[in-house]
Amino acid sequence: MQIKGNTAIITGSSGKLGSRIALALAENGCDCICHYNTNKAVAEDLVSRILAMGQKAWLVEADLTDEKQIDRLFRFESKPTILINSAAVFERIPLGEITQDKAEKTFATNAIAPLLVSQAFVKNLAGTSDLKYPAQIVNLADVGGQKAWAQYSLYCATKAALLAITQSLAKELAPGITVNAVSPGIVNIDESGNDNTKKGVVPPEEVISAIMFLLGNSHITGQIITVE
């Protein structure tokens, strides 16, 4: 697939990794619909940087745990053909501190929201007859969904669910839409924007490289690329 000339939705684009993914897409000639929930200032700066590259960019605020707000991602002039499900919550919650509310919030953000956004993405593409390549969905998972950690049972369970969603949708949506996941280890970017290069920490560029690899291949679907 040619990334250039397409439009991508990046959920959680105000996050440290999400913003870098959006900038990488823009650098490759992709227009960007940049989603955020609460961090408006960071999202506004991101859109300004993308516009300065000569690409189109739109800012959209939405709480993706509210199904009615998901439609906001698709109210722009350009029809997105790439979806990056990056928005997530990451919290250590020991067994003794788990509540129904915390469980529902974590699953709603990390598993149900990507599923419903993907559903809306597919509906928005319905009737599109001029696609030269399959549309593409890339989910940002986590190695915690493959090998769980103590005191992170909720988070790890949601990422395991996202991996299952990825492989199920890949079968359901083929061949018109590919669905893959990138499953990174610890990606640490300090407040100054410098990458943490300690042993066991994944540079964000490696995660972005995996995403770009998937977007550059229209015949790969249902795959999970682990980066750690």
Catalytic residue numbers read: 155
189/196 Cα distance (integer angstroms)? 6
The answer to whether the CB of 106 falls within 8 A of the CB of 155 is: yes
Q: Which class for 201: exposed (0-12), middle (13-18), buried (19 or more C-beta within 10 A)? A: middle
139/113 Cα distance (integer angstroms)? 11
61/69 Cα distance (integer angstroms)? 9
Which tokens hold the place of 72? 């906001």
Comparing C-alpha atoms, which of 165, 160, 134 is closest to residue 146? 160
Which tokens hold the place of 18? 């999400």
Amino acid at 111: A
89/147 Cα distance (integer angstroms)? 18
Query: What DSSP string describes 143-163?
Result: GGGTS--TT-HHHHHHHHHHH
